[in-house]
Structure 1
Amino acid sequence: MAKLMINEKRKKGHINPEIYGHFAEHLGRCIYEGLYVGEHSDIPNVNGMRKDVVDALKEMKIPVLRWPGGCFADEYHWKDGIGPKETRKRMINTHWGGVIEDNSFGTHEFFELCRQLGCKTYVNGNVGSGTVQEMSEWVEYITFNGVSPMADERRQNGHDAPWQLDYFGVGNENWGCGGNMTPEYYGNLYRRYQTYVRQYDPSHPIRKICCGANVADYFWTKGVLKTCFQAPQPGPENGPLLDGLSLHYYVHPEGWQQKGSATDFDDSVWYKTLAKAKYIEELILRHSAIMDEYDPEKKIGMIVDEWGCWFNVEPGTNPGFLYQQNTMRDALVAGISLNIFNKHCDRVKMACIAQMVNVLQSVILTEGPKMLLTPTYHVFHMYRHHQDAELLDSYIDGNKIIGTQEEYQVPFLDESVSVSRDGTINVTLNNLSVTEDAPMEISFARLNPTDVTAAILTGDMQAHNTFDSPENVKEVPFTAYEVRDGSIFFTAPACSVISFCIKEA
């Protein structure tokens, strides 16, 4: 029997709600059809936003949304997406499918969506093909409450008060689709562009995100930070040079070119996928070590604003739309990743899964008026209790290593534990085995558990939801546990995610 040991007296860090963030790019059917259907759609909507999708995301407790990209961000010119919709510019989405982008979803629509969701806002600016003036004027348009050309234009377009802009990304993937830059060149551009991300509301400063590395490009991290930390530093009137440094990592079980099927795979590919998901912990540790050289007090957050599974598109769909199904394998990747982010909350301050609806590892899929919740959605819903909680010291005694190939092995069990402000202890536990159940005990330093509720998500490794059968895989109450002698005893089924909320009366 494995034993999960929890020292509820030792808090190890604060879990930012933004670790459970999401990403929506102008890509495929993520924005259009997924989130936004327009005010005149037969699909129930509020100001054009799909009501079923918004309601589901609110139930999942989404904390922050990143927009408009992704690669799309560095070809997006924000003035094309404001004003009367019939006069907005139409453009070709050169990155994703070569389709027409009509800009009917722009700045006003994004902030309306975030208002409905009740989440923080993360806007990604254009460095690759945009100007300093363009970026500066966008921030002014969004946040300035005085008299100015941009603030006046916002009012003319129907929104008198400024919006609250929480995070602003200065470019995206500028080592690749955002301009194929060197780290030193981008670092100097970042220094210049961020200067004009003005803090018009000192009571609510915008947190500025610098473009960080792709996967294991430690050369990029070192080069950008070295450039950004060279003198002269900015004056106090404009705040710190950067508040966050991004990191992007996708799980491709079969490699970048042939990524593998989202639903057709065997045990060996299952373990290979989960092992690659675990690899993000090494990336966090090694990039953090470089960040520690320049920021030993950890004032700069690591922002994992693109992560998740990237498989081959579903047969018969546009390859530029990146539409894929979502199985219990995705659920376990989500569980592993979120546990890792929790355990490194001293440095990881935000993470945004890619992407929210109909693209890559989505939490929701839509087809016309139909909507379904994916296994990944249920994991985020089960893990929502960790948001704004304190990480607790925990480890699993009696854990073992499993897998069908020596180079792609993973722990049998994977967990993270936190305590909420009301004293509730939140446990999330994954059984990574395809076939083997896990007898378990949860043990505490002093706490005597008397009030326990739990939920479980489980199924065959290829199990997924379809529009004909949307509840094949879903979160259900878990009652197969026993509380005795101050511990909780249960068996975690193979291929499962379990969450506990535990109190002492």
Structure 2
Amino acid sequence: MTAHEATTAARAVIDLDVPGDVISRHLYGHFAEHLGRCIYGGFWVGEDSPIPNVRGIRSDVVEALRALGIPNLRWPGGCFADDYHWRDGIGPRESRPTMVNTHWGDVVENNHFGTHEFMDLCDLLDADAYVNGNVGSGTVREMSEWVEYLTRDGDSPMARLRRENGRDEPWRVPFWGIGNEAWGCGGNMTAQQYALEARRYGTYCRNHGGNELYRIAAGASDDDVAWTRALMESLGCLTCGSNPTPVFQGVSFHYYSHAGGGINTESATSFSEEEFYGTMRKALDVERVIRRHEAVMDSYDPDRKVGLILDEWGTWWNVEPGTNPGFLFQQNTVRDALVASVHFDAFHRHAGRLKMANIAQTLNVLQAMILTDDSGAMVLTPTYHVFEMNRGHHDATALAAHVQSAPVVGGDVPGLSVSASTRDDAALVSLSNLSVDEPLEVRIDLRGRGASVRRARVLTGEDAAAHNTPETPDAVAPVALETSLEAGVLSVTLPPHAFATVELDLA
């Protein structure tokens, strides 16, 4: 896949003085499951490892994720969450019971990374904890006591147990998941059956002291809006003045991208032009799915008291040859970076209802930020760089951004994706050229305020399959991008298969 000499053109408008919804930083959330080498060999190397660590947590990984401003981390699953019993992961590590991780590789889990280790990790990352509780094989009491163990001060059975295990003060744990994929690995329930369980579990996940829980009901796969409707119906009248706070505050859904053949069926690095565009088509379709869930939620909750949560998203390819098929280790290319960039553009446009999103997953699994190995090597993926380049959107206010004209590529894929936000007299513009082989000349009318370019960067590679390895860690990394800004028109030329950000100072 090589670039043609010809350059196609696109035009867009950004209204710098038309603010929209606030883009929650939690839309840039992450996910760490006990799956493959995400936890063990990823985050956790143990105190005795020659790899530099803090209390067993790998130091270079923490440093790299802090550079992203990682806002939250979801743990321990995923499917693993509904097999996980939290008491097995507290106390002296040598005394913790083992279990078999039947979902992911049928390997023995030694429970050395448990509640205290996870909360230590969140502290090191300066990230909020998103703890996913066990509905599938657990009990209401088990989940209720986990909340108490983590968040209650003063004298109580679980607070005393926490202190016996070395932690005096409670933690702040704002986000709590009520099970995971209850329609599948989390219990094979019907929507109505799970809705009743979500109400029951949500009731007993109590606020302790100043820790106010944001309870997230396990929602649909893709565009199964019937599941979302059942959950919203279970909340009763949300517009009645006497109605109490909803028993859960968020409804999730999961959405994975592929090239058209389905998840876990296609290569991460060897793909045709048709498969590239198939992937872009699937990634862009997330906006239709978001709109469908929004429409259902709006009909029950016009005041938007309940948030929509996309707590698993990303690409799902075949594992790398020679690796355990149950570990879901895949390479990460420029194509994956563009999947991330168009997702974020959609997230920004729907920030009024969409309150959190968690990419699957942070390390060594699926569309990872970082790849590591036991030798100590660490690789930042193309997707990592999209998160870093977009950091300025965290808690910024979305701006009205409209594509007026753009080429259609791959038959029916819009060639340009764009979004923008503003904060503190600055703006960030994100642009994606979705053509696999043609540059794109983009002219953007910046209306409503004066602007000057502070910095512009672009991320691309020799082809859409380009990726980073320990031998070539910067094959795909952001570099400076030339721009011009005259009479309120910002002009940039994007290489093929490229993502770019332009940082503006506003007058």
How far is the alpha carbon of 1:12 from its aligned partner? 1.3
Contact 2:89 2:112 in 1 (8 A): yes
The structure 1 residue matched to 2:232, chosen from 217, 225, 231, is 225
Equivalent in the alignment of 2:3: none
Residue 450 of structure 1 aligns to a residue whose secondary structure is: strand
Equivalent in the alignment of 1:359: 365
Paired with 1:81 and 1:400, the residues of 2 have a C-alpha distance of 54
Equivalent in the alignment of 2:299: 293
Compared CA separation, residues 304 and 257, structure 1 to 2 (3 A):
closer
Equivalent in the alignment of 1:20: 28
Equivalent in the alignment of 1:447: 449
Compared CA separation, residues 281 and 104, structure 1 to 2 (3 A):
same
Paired with 1:174 and 1:257, the residues of 2 have a C-alpha distance of 19
The structure 1 residue matched to 2:476, chosen from 458, 473, 479, is 473
How far is the alpha carbon of 1:445 from its aligned partner? 1.4
Aligned partner of 1:125: which letter?
G
How far is the alpha carbon of 1:481 from its aligned partner? 1.2
Aligned partner of 1:326: which letter?
N
Aligned partner of 2:348: which letter?
N
Compared CA separation, residues 440 and 458, structure 1 to 2 (3 A):
same
Equivalent in the alignment of 2:440: 438
Equivalent in the alignment of 1:303: 309
Q: How many residues align?
A: 496
Equivalent in the alignment of 1:119: 127
Residue 198 of structure 2 aligns to a residue whose secondary structure is: helix
Matches within 5 A, 1:185-334: 185-201=193-209, 203-229=210-236, 239-256=245-262, 259-334=265-340
How far is the alpha carbon of 1:104 from its aligned partner? 0.5
Contact 1:253 1:259 in 2 (8 A): no
C-alpha offsets along residues 96-122 of structure 1, whole Å, 9 cap, x if unaligned?
A: 000010000000011100000001110
Residue 468 of structure 2 aligns to a residue whose secondary structure is: coil
Paired with 1:486 and 1:217, the residues of 2 have a C-alpha distance of 44
Unaligned runs of 5+ in 2: 1-8
How far is the alpha carbon of 1:401 from its aligned partner? 1.8
TM-score (norm 1): 0.96
Contact 2:371 2:380 in 1 (8 A): yes
How far is the alpha carbon of 1:504 from its aligned partner? 3.2
Contact 2:446 2:490 in 1 (8 A): no
| Percent of paired sites with the same residue | 50
How far is the alpha carbon of 1:220 from its aligned partner? 1.3
Contact 2:453 2:502 in 1 (8 A): no
Paired with 1:401 and 1:297, the residues of 2 have a C-alpha distance of 37
Paired with 1:153 and 1:230, the residues of 2 have a C-alpha distance of 39
The structure 1 residue matched to 2:466, chosen from 454, 463, 467, is 463
How far is the alpha carbon of 1:235 from its aligned partner? 9.3
Which sits farther off after the overlay, 124-133 or 256-265? 256-265
Aligned partner of 1:156: which letter?
E
Paired with 2:263 and 2:281, the residues of 1 have a C-alpha distance of 19
Unaligned runs of 5+ in 1: none
Equivalent in the alignment of 2:156: 148
How far is the alpha carbon of 1:487 from its aligned partner? 2.2
Q: Give the CA RMSD over aligned residues.
A: 1.6
Paired with 1:285 and 1:398, the residues of 2 have a C-alpha distance of 23
Runs (4+) off by over 3 Å: 233-237
How far is the alpha carbon of 1:366 from its aligned partner? 0.3
Aligned partner of 1:501: which letter?
E
The structure 1 residue matched to 2:418, chosen from 405, 415, 420, is 415
Equivalent in the alignment of 2:4: none
Contact 1:166 1:207 in 2 (8 A): yes
Residue 467 of structure 1 aligns to a residue whose secondary structure is: coil
Residue 401 of structure 2 aligns to a residue whose secondary structure is: strand
Contact 1:234 1:240 in 2 (8 A): no
Residue 399 of structure 2 aligns to a residue whose secondary structure is: strand
Paired with 2:350 and 2:406, the residues of 1 have a C-alpha distance of 20
Aligned partner of 1:417: which letter?
A
Paired with 2:75 and 2:377, the residues of 1 have a C-alpha distance of 24
Contact 2:456 2:483 in 1 (8 A): no
Paired with 1:290 and 1:357, the residues of 2 have a C-alpha distance of 34
Paired with 1:346 and 1:298, the residues of 2 have a C-alpha distance of 8
Contact 2:179 2:218 in 1 (8 A): yes
TM-score (norm 2): 0.95
Paired with 1:386 and 1:199, the residues of 2 have a C-alpha distance of 30
